[in-house]
Structure 1
């Protein structure tokens, strides 16, 4: 029964691609690319647990109590926020100079944030181009429809004209159907990366404000080390 019920859908899909022409084929490719990217990014976020801060909160609690070695060892370095905090803590314990440590923390944080933002640009392009391609298909379809009407002269069949118009408008509908979810998911991904960046900045600031004492020549108040990484 499942196979029989899927036949009409497949037939409708084929009819949609044939009726819409090249523009709908391009939009179908865009949709497949966007879906692949979205699935990959979801897997990445789940695998990395990018927003997980349970171990970071526990480590910062130990760090503030002065149990620095245990704080570092309790961090899961496979997670972005945990790794950045680990770099900051280890640098403080090794009495790394403030300038070098800030640069290293910023480098590690930027690398993770860039990795999380990977493939965002293709999603943005697909979300921007899809409605424009749909509009282009509609304009081309309308041109063809009115050319057919002109060629028919006084023998114009309203059903033929209306059929040409709905076929032309079909591309706009497909373009919007591709663009709307892609833009929404892209914005959601961007917001998640912004939250990761803000959490990194907050956690590293807490490391520096509760850091172990440094030699006098290296002791200095640390600014927000991730302000340029966001």
Structure 2
């Protein structure tokens, strides 16, 4: 406990309470980033090889292969596509599947708002600490009167600028990670939208007959006459 107290005291003496606050924010931000990386890995974000195979098979009318490939997938979008493939297709089903996919996206995007807030506020917090430090430095300079020591002013300025550096050090990697996670979720939305549109409008319906066979009437049992029928005289 004594070591922690000494470390906190040194941080306070070096950069003041703003640097200490930024240090706490950086620890919480790192923990959140690690959690998001684990969450994306567990949900298999971006790993949709089986789902792509299932959608391609469904688009070609191979229902059995589509369901088999879907069963091999461990992606978080697997249940959404299973609902779309196994339920009777309708406009209501399309809206429900879209809502289910959006709910899963929202769950994966939870926490990105906090990262965005850190990326925007950390530089401002550092600048705030710098302004406070500069005010204190000039107050000390004013109190010194005619016996001004340049080292006193220089020491106060570099300590004040330290808070800006700390804010930027927290904000820049956070912004990079946030951009990367946001881009991944954007690609997920594109993939899900394309897959669901293919499922609800495949090129070849499952179980459909070829076009040439469909021209023959199953009730008649014979092909219709091609030319005019001659009447008996």
Do residues 74 (structure 1) and 69 (structure 2) align?
yes
Match of residue 218 from structure 2? none
Higher helix share: 1
For residue 63 of structure 1, report the CA deviation from its aligned partner: 1.6
TM-score, scaled relative to structure 2: 0.79
Partner in structure 1 of residue 225 of structure 2: none
Q: Deviations over 1:153-196 (max 9, x none)?
A: 01111111100000000000000000011011111111000000
Once the two structures are overlaid, the 10-residue window that deviates more, 107-116 or 15-24, is 15-24
Decide whether the 8 Å contact of 2:50 with 2:73 is kept in 1.
no
| Structure-2 change in CA distance of 1:17 and 1:182 (3 Å) | farther
Which residue in the other structure is 1:8 paired with?
A: none
2:53 to 49, 58, 63: 58
Larger mean CA deviation between 119-128 and 17-26 belongs to 17-26
Match of 1:46, SS state, is helix
Aligned pair partner of 1:148 in 132, 140, 143: 140
Residue of structure 2 aligned with 1:35, choices 10, 30, 33: 30
Question: Is the 8 Å Cα contact of residues 12 and 20 (structure 2) preserved in structure 1?
Answer: yes
User: Once the 2 structures are TM-superposed, how far is the Cα of residue 72 of structure 1 from its aligned partner?
Assistant: 2.0
Paired residues of 2:62 and 2:206 also in contact (CA < 8 A): no
State the TM-score, normalizing by the size of structure 1.
0.80
Q: Distance in 1 between matches of 2:174 and 2:13?
A: 24
Higher mean displacement: 56-65 or 128-137: 56-65
Deviations 1:93-113 (A, max 9, x none): xx24x2211122112101110
Once the two structures are superposed, the pairs formed by residues 2-17 of structure 1 within 5 Å of their partners are 15-17=10-12
Count of aligned pairs: 201
**C-alpha contact 1:53 1:82 (8 A) present in aligned 2:** no
Match of 1:88 in 2: 84
Indicate the larger mover: 81-90 or 33-42. Answer: 81-90
Asked if structure 2 preserves the Cα contact closer than 8 Å seen for 1:80 and 1:109, the reply is: no
Contact 1:142 1:164 in 2 (8 A): yes
Corresponding residue to 1:125 among 117, 124, 127: 117
RMSD of the alignment, in Å? 2.2
Larger Cα-atom Rg: 2
Instruction: Answer whether contact 2:55 2:199 (CA < 8 A) is retained.
Output: yes
Spell out the pairing of 1:1-230 with structure 2 (5 A cutoff): 15-75=10-70, 76=72, 78-91=74-87, 95-96=88-89, 98-210=90-202, 211-212=205-206
